[in-house]
Amino acid sequence: MIFNNYLYVWPTDNPISMKKQTFHTEFICYDSLDELPESDRQLLLLAKKSLENSYSPYSNFKVGAAVLLRNGQLFGGSNYENASYPLCICAEQTVLTTAANMHPGVAPLALAVAVRNPKRVIDRPGLPCGACRQVICETEVKNKQPIRVILQGETGSVFVFENGLDLLPLAFDKTFL
């Protein structure tokens, strides 16, 4: 095989050992917000209310998040964009770090995320980006506690994941360091 003007020769006398593996993720899918247990519904409603605080002048993609702590405290947060896109702050990271700073050592039990786009109705859950999934998993490790993740668009189905690792099954963690 020639690649970038270099010839690569693969040995034909050495069999390649390969195994195909599959990951399965389980989550609960509710048809609507009204079907959720009351505590999850209230948390998701706080995430939707937090959409009002989104600073998203460039993409107009609004994200609201809310977290329930073990001590019963609730916090809401939203995304905060920047003209230099890599410097944007996600709603999930905003709310998890706010909660950790306001109540150090108190584990989050659940995180709800809602999304809205004024250009069109989003009728399916908006899943956290890869960086947020990693932060959720790290927060679980730090607190030795899974975080239930509740997701919905403006309307439609609600997805509930029992922990962050269901969203990021091959998470990078301290065992690599």
Q: Which residues are catalytic?
A: 92
At 75, phi and psi to the nearest 5?
Answer: -135, 140
Handedness of CA 119, 124, 129, 135 (dihedral sign): positive
Name residue 91's amino acid: A
Distance of alpha carbon 13 from alpha carbon 51, whole angstroms: 60
Distance of alpha carbon 97 from alpha carbon 12, whole angstroms: 53
Angle at 166 between CA 160 and CA 171, to 5 degrees: 145
Distance of alpha carbon 33 from alpha carbon 42, whole angstroms: 10
